[in-house]
Amino acid sequence: MNFSITTIRDRATIHVHERIVETNKIELRELALDALDHGAKHFVVDLAQADYIDSSGLGTLVMLTKRIHEGGGDIRLRHVNADLRTLFQLTKLEGFFDGFDGGPPAA
């Protein structure tokens, strides 16, 4: 699995285990939308282990953000490393999400 999810009441944390790309975007979408359908409102996408996001992965994150907002929820990106931060800045998506923080915590 490329993703795992931890759900507590109306809060869901999606852990990305490597990358978000064309070949796994459907898995991410289904995981998040299933949690939304089961009452999750507040989402965190933990990118601590993510090393790459392609354009289809970005599109999936944007689509999920729109769906979560339509459901009255919010989404935050956590542990965004320097390379991914640059990607979000270049694509003008850094301010699109409800929250956005820096790289992984210090070891």
Lookup result for tokens 């339509």: 70
| Pairing verdict, β 52-53 and 99-100 | unpaired
Query: Residue 11, Cα to own-chain centre: how many angstroms?
Result: 13
Domain ranges of the chain: 3-96
Domain 3-96 has CATH 3.30.750.24: yes
For the segment 2-29, what is each residue's pLDDT rounded down to a tens digit?
999 999 999 999 999 999 999 999 999 9
Specify the 3-state DSSP secondary structure of 27: helix
Element (H, E) at 28: helix 25-37
pTM score > 0.85 for this model?
yes
Q: How many other CB atoms are there within 10 angstroms of residue 72's CB atom?
A: 8
pLDDT one-digit tens code per residue, 42-89: 999 999 999 999 999 999 999 999 999 999 999 999 999 999 999 999
Query: Cα(94)–Cα(84) distance, rounded to whole angstroms?
Result: 10
